[in-house]
């Protein structure tokens, strides 16, 4: 499926694709991992069923085996939240909303 307005972060031998949307305007919530050594894709499903809203046009980065997602849009709603995804534990943590 085609995807755009996602983020792609390279970290520790892999690329992580977060969010984005498709040609119908539907937003994605999953994190996908592409292994540079294996050339294999995997969907990293959260284990605790806690996750951010599906989103596009956000920012993300990696630090100490965690991915961070900030802001973006979801169904034309502007988001202002920060989420942490632990790559090893596959768990999200809602960090905070940015002060207005």
**Tens of pLDDT along the chain (100 residues)?**
689 999 999 999 999 999 999 999 899 999 999 999 999 999 999 998 899 999 999 999 999 999 999 999 998 899 999 999 999 999 999 997 767 6
Alpha-helical regions (H) of 1-100 = none
Residues of the domain holding 90 = 7-97
Predicted local distance difference test score (pLDDT) of residue 100: 65
CATH number at residue 62: 2.40.10
Predicted local distance difference test score (pLDDT) of residue 76: 87
What pairing do the DSSP bridges indicate for beta strands 41-44 and 91-97? unpaired
Q: What is the DSSP letter of 94?
A: E
Instruction: Choose among 79, 65, 80, 62: nearest CA to 27.
Output: 79
Domain assignment present for 1: no
**Full-model pTM:** 0.91
Q: How many domains does the chain have?
A: 1
């Amino acid at each position: 499926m085609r995807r755009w307005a996602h983020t792609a972060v390279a970290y520790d031998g892999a690329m992580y694709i977060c969010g984005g949307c498709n040609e119908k305007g539907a937003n994605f919530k999953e994190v996908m991992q592409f292994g540079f050594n294996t050339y294999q894709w995997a969907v990293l499903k959260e284990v605790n069923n806690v996750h951010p809203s599906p989103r596009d046009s956000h920012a993300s980065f990696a630090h100490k085996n965690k991915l961070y997602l900030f802001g973006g849009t979801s169904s034309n709603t502007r988001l202002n939240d920060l989420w942490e995804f632990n790559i090893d534990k596959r768990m999200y943590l809602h960090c905070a909303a940015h002060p207005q």
